């Protein structure tokens, strides 16, 4: 796909309602405006935002059980994939982001789109280090992270957040095979490598059992 992939193409591919599409259009317009002051995404991908970012994020929704709630998007940045998933109907989405300026954008985007997500400012490592009884956020059913860290670092970051039922959905690029070598130290986890709809050779890793993985 190229920059010719438009909002209408997204609607055709996903069959979202007109109301949902309009909320996503508001989000993309706000992103374009804020991008001039804050580097929210790579500037070279802005022209192709509907394919490279919105559609790439949306493909995760159907990979989790329909009953899933408490979605944690780690390193949410500009809101990909977490805010997109919230707009599309994922329940109880938490956007974890350490950058205060990006959090300001997420709060405004959440407000204007009426996405209903929860913005949590701070490092995921610090949040994960808290005693579960003192955390103000629930146990996640789904954890997402997009372009945050190599897989071995990512697993170490989110493992303390996981419960036995937690699944992780991590989009990865063409180096996914090399990154998968790092999971050997987690002998009890299950990793399914699912094809990405937006990049040949890329994959989405569906990971289960991380709470008992070490």
201-208 average pLDDT score: 94
- The per-residue b/e assignment along 162-190, b for 16 or more CB within 10 angstroms, e otherwise, is beeebbbbbbbeeebeebbeebeebeebe
Domain at 7-212: CATH code: 3.40.50.150
The predicted-structure confidence for 157-188, as pLDDT tens digits, reads as follows: 999 999 999 999 999 988 888 888 878 888 88
Instruction: Kindly give, in sequence order, each residue whose CB lies less than 8 Å from that of residue 67, ignoring residues fewer than 6 positions away.
Output: none
The predicted-structure confidence for 39-98, as pLDDT tens digits, reads as follows: 999 999 999 999 999 999 999 999 999 999 999 999 999 999 999 999 999 999 999 999
The DSSP annotation for 85-128 comes to HHHTT-EEEEEEE--HHHHHHHHHHHHHHT---EEEES-HHHHH
Q: Tokens 């580097």 label which residue?
A: 39
Whether the predicted pLDDT of 144 surpasses 80: yes
The pLDDT, as a whole number, for residue 3 is 53
At residue 22, the 3 state secondary structure works out as helix
Contact 163, 132 (CB under 8 A): no
pLDDT > 70 fraction of the chain, expressed in percent and rounded: 95
pTM for this entry: 0.93
The pLDDT, as a whole number, for residue 2 is 52
Tell me the pLDDT band of 130, cut-offs 50, 70 and 90.
Answer: confident
- Average pLDDT of the chain is 92
The pLDDT, as a whole number, for residue 108 is 98
Contact 144, 169 (CB under 8 A): yes
The predicted-structure confidence for 87-129, as pLDDT tens digits, reads as follows: 999 999 999 999 999 999 999 999 999 999 999 999 888 887 7
Each domain of the chain, given as residue ranges in start order, spans: 7-212
């Amino acid at each position: 796909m190229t920059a010719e992939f438009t909002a209408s193409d997204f609607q055709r591919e996903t069959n979202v309602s007109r109301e949902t599409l309009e909320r996503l259009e508001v989000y993309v317009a706000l992103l374009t405006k804020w991008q001039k002051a804050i580097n929210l995404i790579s500037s070279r991908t802005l022209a192709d935002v509907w394919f490279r970012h919105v559609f790439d994020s949306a493909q995760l929704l159907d990979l989790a059980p329909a009953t899933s709630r408490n979605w944690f998007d780690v390193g949410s940045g500009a809101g990909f994939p977490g805010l997109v998933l919230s707009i599309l109907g994922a329940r109880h989405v938490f956007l974890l982001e350490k950058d205060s300026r990006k959090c300001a954008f997420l709060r405004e985007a959440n407000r204007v789109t009426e996405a209903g997500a929860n913005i949590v400012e701070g490092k995921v490592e610090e949040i994960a280090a808290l005693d579960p009884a003192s955390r103000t956020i629930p146990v996640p059913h789904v954890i997402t992270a997009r372009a945050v860290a190599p897989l071995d670092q990512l697993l170490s970051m989110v493992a303390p957040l996981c419960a036995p039922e937690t699944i992780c959905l991590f989009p990865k690029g063409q180096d996914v095979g090399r990154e998968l070598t790092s999971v050997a130290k987690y002998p009890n986890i299950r990793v399914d490598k699912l094809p990405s709809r937006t990049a040949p050779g890329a994959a989405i890793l569906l990971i289960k059992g991380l709470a008992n993985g070490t």
